Structure 1
Amino acid sequence: MSVIRHLAAPIPTQLPELKPDTYLSETQWQVLLALIDAVIPSIVVGSEAEDQEKSQLRISQSQYVEAYERTKRLMKQPPDCDKFRQYLEARPLDNPRFMRLIKRTIQRVPDGTRKQLGAVLSIIATRVGSLAGTGYYTPIQEQPVHVREAIIQSWNQSWLTVWPIIGKSILKMAKVSFAQTDPLFMELIGYKEAPDDYRPGPSFRFDFLQFEAGPEVETVETDVVVVGSGCGGAVCAKVLAEAGHGVVVVDKGYYFPTSRLPMATEAANEFLYEGNGMVQSADGSVTIVAGSCWGGGGSINWSVSLQPQGFVRQEWADQGLGFFTTQEFQHCLDRVCDFMGVSDANIRHNHRANVILNGSKKLGWSAKPCPQNTGGAEHYCGNCTLGCSSSEKQGPTVSWLPAAANAGARFIEGFEASEVLFDKKNGSKQAVGVLGTWISRDKDGNVHTPESGRVTRQVRVKAKKVIVACGTLHSPLLLMRSGLKNPHIGKNLHLHPVGQMNASFDEDIKGWEGGILTSVCTTFENLDGKGHGVKLEPSSMVPYMFLYEHPWRNALQWKLDALRCRQMDNFIAISRDRDSGRVYPDPDTGRPVIDYTPSAFDRKHILAGLIALAKLCYIEGAAEIWPFVQSVPSFVRRRRRRRQSRPVADPTADSDSDSEASSGSSGNESEDDNIDQGINDPDFAAWLRTLERAGVSFPGTTFTSAHQMGTCRMGASASRGVVGPDGAAWEARDLYVADASVFPSASGVNPMITNMAIADWVARGVSRDLKKARSRPTL
């Protein structure tokens, strides 16, 4: 181990140079930037705008005064008048960092999607197309900001699905880029990409295999090759190496030591996440977050270490997989938890975690702390999403892979496996290794420079056993590329689709500080009596991650809401989805295409979860609540004046007058005002009915997934799954899958521990087979 000391901030990770922006025409860029400009424009008082209505949104002096007075009333630490004016007047398009991120975002969009976007932009750039798409004969790029803003508002309400989808894409791009790059916004909310007391923890020095340039295929030999260094592959590597077997772990991602963590958000998306953090389902209804670096999802997850519940284990056992109700499976679970020091003993809960715990107690619901894989450390860290610098989280790069290395395992980073290799003698397939492309770092150890200036080499890893553990999105694609035909490959995709909610409180929270997810409410996890429902959890508070879907009604509203984000909490209703989708390769690029839309059955549960989250926020004193449902207004708590005749226990109690009316408020008082109605508050109850009537469906609501499972499902026979109860592929000998893709259905809990326990089981079986083969007499 080596410790990097005396760093005041992480060493910056450079981004690749931008490619020329010729993938959109000049006119298409003009239209796109005109739309983005209307989402978060420069906002000025009318008398100061002069003739700049093309690039500035004008508001009246009274609107400005009202906005500032409301901001001062609602914020514990409001900006002064000058800073507030600067914040409103700032135009993101004038910020070079913002513009670079917009161009990088478009550059990352898959070619097919980008062509579709370009086609729409070209159409509405014409007068006829503009009339059809916007209702105006003048093309959108020639319109003033307030007209462009009105067009986006109309798109959000359109009955033609194409326009809400286009509108959402523009909104998301603008909000994400703004929340990552605006310096004054960061200053006013007090967000820093690394803490003031930054001290990186110890980093393990991985000795990655290196290869010289050459036309021939380089060959490496070992007992077991493991494809993927995440939660499944890392566990397999440790178990097998410590059992005395030769192990080589390969991964397309690269390793980043703690001295480079947490990364700036743009770099984190580039180097730590699948698809540069931009993966979406084919229809755009679900945004998928998946790790793609050395250590996989275990390097960027949130430490949650929940074991699968009895009803899930029984469901899997009832499918012919009796192992899941055996004590041996429990031993596997306990073994992986013990190795990482999983515990809930020293957790310091932050505000939103306590909203879950305390609110549930007040409502009579079940809630508990979430055990963390932090070796018993407090780990009051909100940065794990961008890479954890403390080394307290015992993920793959901190615990499992170093243990494997100490036992003799070898590693190759930057290796993209193209196929599993087979010996096809006697009419059957026997896995004998993997073939892939290795791309080195540059001479300075960087990975942002063009691949043309780095060594690229075809590498074959010959092995007696092959373990595929490259994740739910990529494991099935590798099997498909390798010629396997089992009809379950790529099917049975579960995502735990999530509905989100923001809530603002009368406290200065700074929610990006403290543990990301340390509590859970389980009352609603079995809504159908068959183990399907939702868990209520806190979520990551990196600003762009909880503001990108924060409802946008108009530019001023969103900019003012964003300014209050230091008093916000973000919560998720995470569903155990009954219904599934599939993943398959893009015919042009080979990258995963995710065919998944949350079903009506699962959306009903997500809606129940959002309603329950709103109740938790209300009972814990939320001043305003925003479900991420476009058609539902926020709920604003009414502060009622207390009657003088009302007996009060505390003569110093607050007696402020009403501040703001909430949605659905009648304004009438009754004798019931003499008691604390709690969630029966008529205003709140009326608003909940509005939310319930609206429901959650795309495109008015979009969903998120951080858990992918099931695409190489385990089954009792080849007709029921891709692999058998021991993780061995039905179609080929000596080939195994050991990641969350083997889950028979959704786990219902954050899947890390289930994934690791299955990998532990698979690896021990592989080890037994290897030892038996060694002990057989040779003829």
Structure 2
Amino acid sequence: MPRSADDFLARMLVGEVPRPPTERELAALGAALDTIVAPVPDAHDVPEPLRSLRGTDVVRPDEALELLRQRTGPGAFRKFMMLLSLLAKPNGTWLLSGGKFNKAFPDMSLEERVQMMLNCQNSAKLQDRTMFVLFKGIADFLVYSNPTGRMPAQLYDVLGYPGPDPDRPKSLPSNAVPHFRFIDVPAAEANRAMPLTMKFDAVVVGSGAGGGVTAATLARAGMRVVVLERGQWHKPEDLPLKEFDTFAAMYDRGGMTSSEDASISLLAGNTVGGGTTINWAASLRPQVYLRDEWSKKHGLPWFGSEGFQKAIDAVCDRLGVGSAAIKQNSTNSIILEGCKKLGMHAAEIPQNTRNQPHECGYCGMGCSRALKQSSALTWLADATKDGAQIIQSCHVDKILMSDDKKVARGVQAVVGPNKIPIIIEAPTVVVSGGSIHTPALLLRSGLKNPNIGRHLGLHPVCVVLGYYHESTKPYSGSMMTAVSNAVENRDGKHYGAKIEATTLHPVVHAAQSAWANPADNKRQLAQLDHGACMVVLTRDRDRNARIILDDDGSPVVQFAISEFDGASAAEGMARAAQILITTGAHTVVTGQRNVPAFKPPSTDIGDPKAVAFIDEIRAKGVHTLQTGLFSAHQMGTARMATTPARGVTNPRGQVWGTQGLYVADASLFPTSSGVNPMITAYSVAYSVAHWIVEDVKGKDSGANM
């Protein structure tokens, strides 16, 4: 990883491996937590106990720092320690504040700390905005997720939030949940002189959309298959349905993955079933224009073929994709109603729920009803029936290859907290770790194709929040069942943005909230039960993003939003704001930190004040670290291409130059998909899996699609 100037400075200040924090550094972190989440005794319109809540009431600075250490890479943690080191000293604060403050951060008054945070938020300097985004993100996540259990018991009551899903079923039918064949690697193996070695016909790294369908296809063809999964299996009846516990158990880095500069948060699965276990059930097929672009512009005719259509149909059939039983919740209904009033496109989003009603607003924490047909409940279950086995809590260090890298021979991995070393010998290796971890594994394994890790598509998402006089119960009902494509084609080449919806829970709400001062922030948070969250999903054309390796070989995401993609996002936000205004929201808050909240005088989007607000959204735009962004879709970091100069794999998913090594996940996408990528990822991997069977067993093997 190239070492930047701030990384070099961080090593100088806190060491190659960060030393334990000093008391003053912990005090600086505590002061930051108590600035973002501060008591507001004079704000009598903020209900108790939210009014009196301070960050360190819930999480002490030493606890917060330990959680950060566990959930960030060494480079990011070292830079954060450098920030605390500077804030702990008067001259450091003077430097960070541009000479405006000459006190150590812990010694400043609350008013001074608030002003410094606002200065950082509104600064023209990226490093200043990074500091604000870091502290707000850490405080929002660690306070409102309640990792210590010290949050006041009445807080959820004043938010109108019921806590863990009160409607979850008390029991499930015995046939609703599969019984996997796990390989237990005993802790005693940690003392072996040599790694434990196992032999299979194929090893699949990852169990999400790509890994699941690949394992099922290979196992059905009679191959002895093992699936290696970084996360663990959580039965639907055992899901905690609490934000902190869910993030810790089922999300990459405990839900705290972000880009190197903290400009975009990344949500990715870390559990059996991968992202399909914790996604929002949106099951959109790849659009015709996408298939045409991949087929013609990228020279991959398979994607325009009847064969790929059959792959899509087979995937949707197995997942039970349909829209017949959809029941719209409040926020999705707002999209449909608002678009109808405005004459904008709107449509229902099918769900993978076997055409059964699925009013589960907690599905981002896993489906306690076992209705959402994840990879675990479908393809992995099929693979298990055909003999496939799974090793969970398994981190794959590298792919084993011949010395010249021309032949794959298996993988080297470690299992569990004791990091028990194992070797899987297999002539077929399939990497399906997702577009963050797939390129990291290829890079750790010594492959040199310069395309590895590049072309990262993220579908950057920004939000627009609306608040209504009536309760909306935004945490309940189907999560994502309506979409508007009104601005999906800004350039005539189908790059633009989609408007969708999602449910709101306390951490998600806090993370997307505005922050001009602690009191106004708490006033907004108190309106959770009256909120509606529009998500604007941008099909990123320019993809200024890539994956590189940190000191320990873990992935680092580098990202910057381009001018075109930012304009697409801003136009999507403008249209989303119009939807909220026309449906009666009394307050509209965009994710743009430089656009104040708006209180519409009426539902008329032609009102001069409304027009000025919409114009301001467009004019201010979406820029790095000035607008809150997150990504739940990662794509393209090992893309399929016609030559090794253009991509990482050949048109059949085999890594260029290495026999027996394949990629089968969204990393293969030549471009961002433009729709929620689950169905596309399944369908691409379904195709690759059948090609693998052909390569191994011959074209007459019965694997034809």
What's the secondary structure of 2:585's corresponding residue?
coil
1:582 and 1:711 in contact (8 A); partners too: no
Give the C-alpha shift of residue 100 in structure 1.
4.0
Which residues in structure 2 correspond to 1:544-583 (within 5 Å)? 544-583=507-546
Q: Which runs of 5+ in 2 are unaligned?
A: 1-17
Structure 2 residue 27 is the aligned partner of structure 1 residue 30:
yes
Structure 2 residue 401 is the aligned partner of structure 1 residue 422:
yes
Counterpart position of 1:680: 606
Give the C-alpha shift of residue 774 in structure 1.
10
- Of 128, 143, 146, the residue aligned with 1:178 is 143
- Of 154, 167, 192, the residue aligned with 2:162 is 192
1:204 and 1:257 in contact (8 A); partners too: no
Deviates more, 1:530-539 or 1:410-419: 410-419
Which residues in structure 2 correspond to 1:345-384 (within 5 Å)? 345-384=324-363
1:215 and 1:457 in contact (8 A); partners too: no
Give the C-alpha shift of residue 106 in structure 1.
5.1
* CA deviation map 1:362-383 (0-9, x unaligned): 1111111101011111110011
Structure 2 residue 183 is the aligned partner of structure 1 residue 209:
yes
Counterpart position of 1:602: 565
Distance in structure 2 (CA, Å) of the matches to 1:93 and 1:410: 45
Distance in structure 2 (CA, Å) of the matches to 1:131 and 1:97: 26
2:509 and 2:525 in contact (8 A); partners too: no
- Matched AA of 1:291: G
- Of 460, 464, 475, the residue aligned with 1:512 is 475
2:48 and 2:158 in contact (8 A); partners too: no
What's the secondary structure of 1:398's corresponding residue?
coil
Counterpart position of 1:524: 487
Structure 2 residue 362 is the aligned partner of structure 1 residue 388:
no
- Matched AA of 1:721: G
Give the C-alpha shift of residue 388 in structure 1.
1.4
2:545 and 2:560 in contact (8 A); partners too: no
Give the C-alpha shift of residue 687 in structure 1.
1.3
- Of 488, 492, 512, the residue aligned with 2:455 is 492
Distance in structure 2 (CA, Å) of the matches to 1:86 and 1:695: 36
TM-score for the superposition, normalised by structure 1:
0.82
Counterpart position of 1:740: 666
* CA deviation map 1:289-328 (0-9, x unaligned): 1111111111111111111111111111112100011011
Give the C-alpha shift of residue 582 in structure 1.
4.5
Counterpart position of 2:7: none
Give the C-alpha shift of residue 524 in structure 1.
1.0
Give the C-alpha shift of residue 495 in structure 1.
0.6
Counterpart position of 2:635: 709
* 1:250/1:626 CA distance change after superposition, 3 Å: same
Taking only aligned residues, the RMSD between alpha carbons, in angstroms, comes to: 2.1
- Of 91, 95, 120, the residue aligned with 1:155 is 120
Counterpart position of 1:435: 412
Counterpart position of 2:5: none
Distance in structure 2 (CA, Å) of the matches to 1:129 and 1:195: 46
Counterpart position of 1:467: 430
- Matched AA of 1:357: L
How many residue pairs are counted as aligned between the two chains?
668
Counterpart position of 1:244: 222
- Of 307, 312, 325, the residue aligned with 1:328 is 307
- Of 131, 151, 162, the residue aligned with 1:166 is 131
- Matched AA of 1:726: R
Give the C-alpha shift of residue 263 in structure 1.
3.7
What's the secondary structure of 1:579's corresponding residue?
coil
* 1:132/1:501 CA distance change after superposition, 3 Å: same
Counterpart position of 1:588: 551
Counterpart position of 2:377: 398
- Matched AA of 2:542: D
* CA deviation map 1:593-612 (0-9, x unaligned): 11221111110100000001
Give the C-alpha shift of residue 138 in structure 1.
3.5
Give the C-alpha shift of residue 40 in structure 1.
1.6
What's the secondary structure of 2:294's corresponding residue?
helix
Distance in structure 1 (CA, Å) of the matches to 2:667 and 2:159: 40
* 1:204/1:757 CA distance change after superposition, 3 Å: same
Deviates more, 1:540-549 or 1:132-141: 132-141
Distance in structure 2 (CA, Å) of the matches to 1:40 and 1:619: 33
Structure 2 residue 697 is the aligned partner of structure 1 residue 727:
no
Give the C-alpha shift of residue 718 in structure 1.
2.0
Distance in structure 1 (CA, Å) of the matches to 2:674 and 2:633: 10
2:30 and 2:61 in contact (8 A); partners too: no
Give the C-alpha shift of residue 545 in structure 1.
1.4
- Matched AA of 1:760: Y
TM-score for the superposition, normalised by structure 2:
0.91
Deviates more, 1:192-201 or 1:754-763: 192-201
Distance in structure 2 (CA, Å) of the matches to 1:482 and 1:112: 21
Counterpart position of 2:694: 768
- Of 498, 519, 539, the residue aligned with 1:535 is 498
Distance in structure 1 (CA, Å) of the matches to 2:56 and 2:331: 34
Distance in structure 2 (CA, Å) of the matches to 1:86 and 1:475: 45
* 1:96/1:692 CA distance change after superposition, 3 Å: closer
* CA deviation map 1:523-558 (0-9, x unaligned): 211110011000000024122113213110111111
1:540 and 1:546 in contact (8 A); partners too: no
Larger radius of gyration: 1
- Of 32, 38, 43, the residue aligned with 1:41 is 38
- Percent of aligned positions with the same letter in both sequences? 32
1:226 and 1:467 in contact (8 A); partners too: yes
* CA deviation map 1:78-118 (0-9, x unaligned): xxxxxx24431233322358984564235533333333233
What's the secondary structure of 1:523's corresponding residue?
strand
Deviates more, 1:590-599 or 1:204-213: 204-213
Deviates more, 1:178-187 or 1:459-468: 178-187
Distance in structure 2 (CA, Å) of the matches to 1:33 and 1:252: 33
* 1:720/1:614 CA distance change after superposition, 3 Å: same
Distance in structure 2 (CA, Å) of the matches to 1:143 and 1:509: 40
Distance in structure 1 (CA, Å) of the matches to 2:57 and 2:230: 36
* 1:545/1:226 CA distance change after superposition, 3 Å: same
1:283 and 1:597 in contact (8 A); partners too: no
1:583 and 1:592 in contact (8 A); partners too: no
1:281 and 1:597 in contact (8 A); partners too: no
- Matched AA of 1:562: L
What's the secondary structure of 1:119's corresponding residue?
helix
1:510 and 1:567 in contact (8 A); partners too: yes
